[in-house]
């Protein structure tokens, strides 16, 4: 099966150093710093990329599950908020909040909620992140 690659380089100490994150396909490369991870700046950070991975995986898996059941969506859009907090012992990703909106003709909200919840539990990235609580808000639109 597929093996995906990514790399990171860090120069200097934690507070004053700087780094670069790069995905193996070459589709993304960006700088990161202490400030971009633990405060706010225009640079990226590992948590943001983790959120993108979770949102992308969830949207794709939800579309697949719906389609397999005969409910091909017009669209699925998911946002992931990765919460990084200082806890006893250091920093930790405490939760990932998923917010998804899907337009699925002919599907009622109750069935949609079941598909969304099942996807939250079973998408590939969610399963890899079992040590993180993943919260879900799902909205059927259209």
Tell me the pLDDT tens digit for each residue of 43-98: 999 999 999 999 999 999 999 999 999 999 999 999 999 999 999 989 999 999 99
Residues 6+ apart with CB under 8 A from 35: 41, 43
Q: Give residues with Cβ within 8 angstroms of 12, minimum separation 6.
A: 18
Q: How far apart are CA 73 and CA 108, in angstroms?
A: 12
Res 41: pLDDT: 83
pLDDT digits (tens, 9 = 90+) for 98-137: 999 999 999 999 999 999 999 999 999 999 999 899 999 9
Left (φ > 0), alpha (ψ -120 to 50) or beta: where does 10 sit? beta
pLDDT computed for residue 116 by the predictor: 98
Tell me what pLDDT residue 1 has.
Answer: 83
Cα gap 78→50, rounded to integer Å:
13
CB contact set of 123 (below 8 Å; sequence gap of 6+): 54, 57, 58, 60, 61, 62
Per-residue pLDDT at 142? 87
User: In this predicted structure, what is the pLDDT of residue 42?
Assistant: 83
Confidence band (pLDDT; 50, 70, 90) for 39?
A: confident
Mean pLDDT rounded to a whole number for the chain: 95
Burial (CB count within 10 angstroms: exposed 0-12, middle 13-18, buried 19+), residue 22: middle
Q: Both tokens of residue 103?
A: 């337009």
Q: What is the pLDDT of residues 14-26, one digit of tens each?
A: 999 999 999 999 9
């Amino acid at each position: 099966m597929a093996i995906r690659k990514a790399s990171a380089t860090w120069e200097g100490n934690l507070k004053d150093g700087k780094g670069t994150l790069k995905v193996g396909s070459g589709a993304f490369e960006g700088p990161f710093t202490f400030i971009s991870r633990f405060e706010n700046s225009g640079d990226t950070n590992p948590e943001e990329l983790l959120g993108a991975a979770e949102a992308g995986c969830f949207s794709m898996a939800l579309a697949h599950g719906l389609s397999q059941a005969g409910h091909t969506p017009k669209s699925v859009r998911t946002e992931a908020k990765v919460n990084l907090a200082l806890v006893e012992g250091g920093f930790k990703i405490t939760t990932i909040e998923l917010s998804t909106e899907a337009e699925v003709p002919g599907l009622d909200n109750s069935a949609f909620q079941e598909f969304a919840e099942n996807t939250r539990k079973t998408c590939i990235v969610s399963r890899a992140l079992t040590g993180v609580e993943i919260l879900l808000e799902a909205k059927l639109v259209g």
